Amino acid sequence: MDDAIVLYPGPGIGHVVSMIELGKLILRRYSHRFSIIILLSTGPFDTPPTTSYIDHISQTNPSISFDRFPYLSVDTSSSTCNIVAVFSEFFRLSASNVLHALQQLSKTSTVRAFIIDYFCASALPVARDLGIPTYHFLTTGAAVVAAVLYFPTIHKQYESSNKSFKDMPTTFLHFPGLPPLQATRVLEPWLNRDDPAYDDMLYFSELLPKSDGLLINTFHDLEPIAVKTIREGTCVPNGQTPPVYCIGPLIADTGEDESNIAADNG
């Protein structure tokens, strides 16, 4: 059977483009030894530019194929929930499609790795149950990844206060390897403890260390302190940190020499 690597991007064209560029990088690095299959959850977040871009990739990159799931509808009209909560529900509902896709692909290919977006964390247990090595791909820099990994610890530190970070303007949070951060300036889904998005972000962060590796869209010399802090395990004080791979910057090809794309796997 052929060897395949399956990618599962999050919502929005930014996440899709980054994941596809990762697929291109894998193909270049391993001399097209693998086929790249990208799972696409289709729903209300799809846009014409995203569809056009995917069609272009299908026509110009024969080693990359797409497995589109049936259209899935979720309520995007709620004014009380952060959009992250909607994303989370969408991908939770897509878990059965992920299971079916991986089972079908395993009949014709040997799936060597399953690479998922941060927002697709609910797919991690699905792949693990099938015995497929699963990696997280983080489209942000290492500094944000360090903060996200440490978020469960920050949550526990302030859990007894029952206060949301949006209501703590004089409080500064301390993340390993990063400057102190005013509580009201954290990632938006972290601001309100009563928003379902807060629990979703906590769930995503708790699953990160359980993957087989973290692929970060950065390179070591750009963020040496943040990368070192993550690799030393400081951001996951009560658990193990998986291997960290700096594979960026990933830049969408516009016709220039693709060999200029850096990849630091050290």
- Is the distance from CB of 127 to CB of 102 less than 8 angstroms? yes
What residues are labeled active site? 15, 117
Pair 2, 36: CB distance under 8 Å: no
Kindly give, in sequence order, each residue whose CB lies less than 8 Å from that of residue 28, ignoring residues fewer than 6 positions away: 258, 259
Q: Which burial class, exposed, middle or buried, applies to 169 when counting CB atoms under 10 A from its CB (0-12, 13-18, 19+)?
A: exposed
With contact defined as beta carbons under 8 Å apart, do 186 and 205 qualify?
Answer: no
